[in-house]
Amino acid sequence: METLKDKIFEMFYIKHLKVKDIAEREKVSSAYITKVVKTDVRYKTEKAFRKNKSKEKRKLAQNKFNKQKREKQRIEDNYAFVQEQHKEASRELSKSKRLSDENYRKWNKSAYTYNPSKHRYEFDKTLGRSYDVPKYIKER
């Protein structure tokens, strides 16, 4: 039959349970578990093993925290950038009653393609164009 000390040694050194968990399972004080565990010759090596394991766990947690912080900052930066673009577009669109051709092209990027041989932006014919939309916009 296995004695209480043998059970404690097995749970601490083989299963690597915490003193608190062993004390709860065996319904004894954690001070008693610590006292029993310290009598074994494996205590110093187990203590070093647990210390290294804890250090690795902290390092992983710190890396995860830093990664999440960087991701949050990236999202905030992107949001601020989009907000600034929106404000700038709003200012450009509200400056005058008539929108300049250049600003119209910037506002409708997908409607214009650049023709490098003629140094101009050309409206996509497949989209259909009203009379007030420019066919071509010279490059500045």
Tokens in use for 138?
């010279």
- Angle of helix 19-26 relative to helix 30-38, nearest 10 degrees, comes to 120
The boundaries of the domain holding residue 5 are 1-40
Question: At residue 120, what is the residue type?
Answer: R
* pLDDT, position 95: 65
Same domain, 120 and 87: no
pLDDT tens digits in sequence order for the chain, 140 residues long: 479 999 999 999 999 999 999 999 999 999 999 999 999 999 999 999 999 999 999 999 999 999 999 999 999 999 999 999 998 888 777 766 677 788 878 878 888 889 899 889 988 888 888 877 888 888 77
> Number of folded domains in the chain?
3
108 and 124 Cβ atoms separated by less than 8 Å: no
Closest residue by Cα to residue 8 from 27, 28, 33: 33
Reported pTM:
0.50
47: in domain: no
48: in domain: no
Same domain, 139 and 124: yes
pLDDT, one tens digit per residue, over 22-54 is 999 999 999 999 999 999 999 999 999 999 999
